[in-house]
Amino acid sequence: SEPAPVICIDGPTASGKGTIAAIVAERLGYHLLDSGSLYRITGLAASRAGIELTEANAQAIADLVSSKVITFLPDQQVLLDGDDISLDIRTEQAGMNASQVATFPAVRQALLQVQRNFCRLPGLVGDGRDMGTTIFPDAPLKVYLTASVQCRAERRYKQLISKGLSANMADLIADLEARDARDINRAASPLKPAQDALHWDNSDSTIDEAVQQVLTWWEQRQPFAPVA
């Protein structure tokens, strides 16, 4: 990593982090880190290798993901050792598996430097659960995005259907609440707003409004303090 300005966008599942982070990065010409995809890839790689996602296997899972070649291409395309796994990591099952492996400190440790290496000039927008609390604690702008459970479930439903993936509202709400609870209550880097985060409730705002708010906050941060 090199000293560069970082914007952190953290929040629970389907709060709009990924969408807003990607647009903000594009507008500013910054790099983008979709940290959740790394946990999704880790869960998928372990499942495919036949490794059960248990604490006893945490180190084996961390070693496995460290040995893999992960390639991020434009348009959210992701390759695992050359295989296109872009859609496989977007199912709700993959999200649940991700939140399981994300509780293992060995896995979080293995992914720490990988994430910091995304910090490059002219700047980075990091999307995740612990960008502001753990990965980039010195970031000059930390945004904590939220939205109501109902709103997040409806948005995730539409998103899954539009990708041709299956979805059911009752299951989605249950999964979302289970994943929130696991992310908030785990010991290792739990989901919580950084002390210096600015909060934005995305329930009644459009994507454009949220993007505009983040860009306005960013302008107010000038001159940007670089993060090493």
Kindly list the residues in this chain that would bind ligand CDP in the complex (CB under 6 A): 11, 13-19, 35-37, 39-40, 95, 98-99, 102, 128-130, 155-156, 159, 179, 183, 202, 205-207, 210
Q: How far is the CB of 185 from ligand CDP (least distance, A)?
A: 11
How far apart, in whole angstroms, are the C-alpha atoms of residue 211 and residue 228? Answer: 25
> Has 14 been labeled as part of a binding site?
yes
Q: Residue 60 or residue 201: which is nearer to ligand CDP going by CB?
A: 201
Q: Which helix (H) or strand (E) holds 114?
A: helix 105-116
Q: Looking at beta carbons, which pairs linking 159-168 to residues 24 or more positions away fall under 8 Å?
A: 159/14, 160/90, 160/92, 163/87, 163/90, 165/87, 165/90, 165/91, 167/92
- Work out how close the CB of 154 gets to ligand CDP at its nearest, in angstroms, rounded to a whole number: 8
Locus of tokens 């700047």: 123
| CB closer to ligand CDP out of 149 and 222 | 149
42 is in an annotated binding site: no
Select 16 or 123, whichever has its Cβ closest to ligand CDP: 16
What is the CB neighbour count within 10 angstroms for residue 160? Answer: 18
Is 11 marked as a binding-site residue?
Answer: yes
